[in-house]
Amino acid sequence: MADAGAGRSRWAAPALGAGSVIAIFAALEILLKTGIVNRFIVPYPSAVLLSLERIIVEENVLGRVGETAFEMFFSCIAVILIGVPIGTALYRYRALRRAVEDWVAALAAAPLVLAFPLFLVLFGRSSLTIIVMSVITGLAPIIIKTTEGLAGVRPVLINVGKSLKMGDSQMFWKILIPAALPVIFSGIRLSWTFVLISVVGIEFLINLGGLGQLINDLAERYDLPGTYAAILFVVGVSVCFFMILERVETWLRPNP
């Protein structure tokens, strides 16, 4: 049903959203000026925006992004290389799936990141700690979604493969994987989101590496606008990361 209002609100809604964000910042600026909000707790929004530049130039943000990206890269690859085969095994061996499915689900809900002190002991304060911890955190969704995706392949497609006398590996690469790919990728997206949270979070917690450490450093120096600007920057980077993943996912999904 074509609604007459739809054309109007296409721009009105995002405008309201963005406008509200700007209005909140403007209001904050005024409240700070008048002293209603304490300047020693909340910096001027304008000062935060100005510090963005300072941070990028002086604090070697690009280098830090690189460091975080390096840890992300290895974690993300490892998550796929470990998670997809496990998910496939759980699909193929139903008894195994029945046996450990609940465990994997419990793993997904467990606060695994808390184990980071354990890995500090094992690997010291190094990137390896961050990577290993992040892989463990990100593994469950990809395993679950791989199994789910493969199990959800329409039986008729498998029957087509059988009727063409396809072998096991042909069946896997030419039918099962392509058919399950959208679901598997949604698992990848979830896993990579977990990985990002974990990488930045542990960087912050153990004060090592890229963007997470930046926030920690600035906070410890009590650089108020700097801390806020760095948080803003990290939030921005993560949002971009999610948006890209989401684009890829919609692109992979077959059009209805």
Partner 1 sequence: MAATEPVRPKAARSQGWTAGGPVSGRDTNLIRIGIVLGAAILWEGVSRSGWLFQDVVPSLLAIGAAIGKMLVNPAFYANLQVTAGEVFASLAIGGALGIFTGIALGSNRFLGAAFEPYVYYLAPTPRIIFFPVMIMWFGVGAASKIALGALSCFFTVALSTAGGMRGIDTVLIRVGKSFRATPWQMGMKIYLPAMRVPVLNGIRLGFGTAMVTALLAETKLSNQGLGYMIMQIYSRFDMPSLYALLIIVFIIAGAGNLILGRVTGTNA
Partner 2 sequence: MNNAAANAAGDKAVPVMPAPAAEAQLVIDRVSKRFGEGPGAVVAVDDMSFDVMPGEFVACIGPSGCGKSTLFNIIGGLQEEYVGNVMIDKSRIAGPHAAVGMVFQEESTFPWRNVLDNVAFPLELQNVGQSERRDRAQKFISLVGLQGFEKRMPSELSGGMRQRVSIARTLVSGPRILLMDEPFAALDEQTRLLLGDKITQIQQELHQTTLLITHNLTEAVQLSDRIVVMTYRPGRVKRIVNIDLPRPRTSDVVSSPAFGKYVAEIWGDLREEATRGMEEAEAGAAARGKTARG
Binding site for partner 2 (CB under 8 A): 1-4
Q: What is the pattern of x (binds partner 1, CB under 8 A) and - over residues 10-49?
A: --xxx-xx--xx-------------------xx-------
What is the DSSP track for 83-127?
HHHHHHHHHH-HHHHHHHHHHHHHHHHS-GGGGHHHHHHHH-SSH
Nearest CA to 111 out of 188, 189, 201 is that of 201
Binder among 176, 179, 180, 188 for partner 1 (CB under 8 A): 176
Binder among 57, 239, 244, 248 for partner 1 (CB under 8 A): 239
Minimum Å distance from CB 30 to partner 1? 19
Task: Tell me how many degrees the CA angle 50-51-56 measures, rounded to the nearest 5.
Answer: 115
Binder among 182, 193, 249, 252 for partner 1 (CB under 8 A): 193
Furthest C-alpha separation in the chain: 78
Q: Is 43 helix (H, G, I), strand (E, B) or coil?
A: coil
Binder among 200, 209, 210, 225 for partner 1 (CB under 8 A): 200
- Which of partner 2, partner 1, none binds 2 (CB below 5-8 Å, type-dependent)? partner 2
CB 40 within 8 A of CB 50: no
If one asks whether residue 132 binds partner 1 (CB under 8 A), the answer comes out as: no
Binder among 131, 143, 196, 229 for partner 1 (CB under 8 A): 196
| Helix residue ranges per DSSP H, 126-176 | 127-151, 155-163, 168-170
Which of 205-229 are b and which e, b meaning 16 or more Cβ less than 10 Å from the residue's Cβ?
bbebbbbbbbbbbbbeeebbbbbbb
Binder among 122, 160, 164, 248 for partner 1 (CB under 8 A): 122
Minimum Å distance from CB 187 to partner 2? 28
- Can you tell me which residue has the tokens 């939030």? 235
CB 166 within 8 A of CB 149: no
Minimum Å distance from CB 33 to partner 1? 19
Query: Nearer Cβ to partner 1, position 32 or 224?
Result: 224
Residues forming the site for partner 1 (CB under 8 A): 9, 12-14, 16-17, 20-21, 41-42, 92, 94-96, 98-100, 102, 105-106, 108-118, 120-122, 155, 158, 162, 168, 171-172, 176, 193, 196-198, 200-201, 204-205, 212, 215-216, 218-219, 224, 227-228, 231, 234-235, 238-239, 242-243
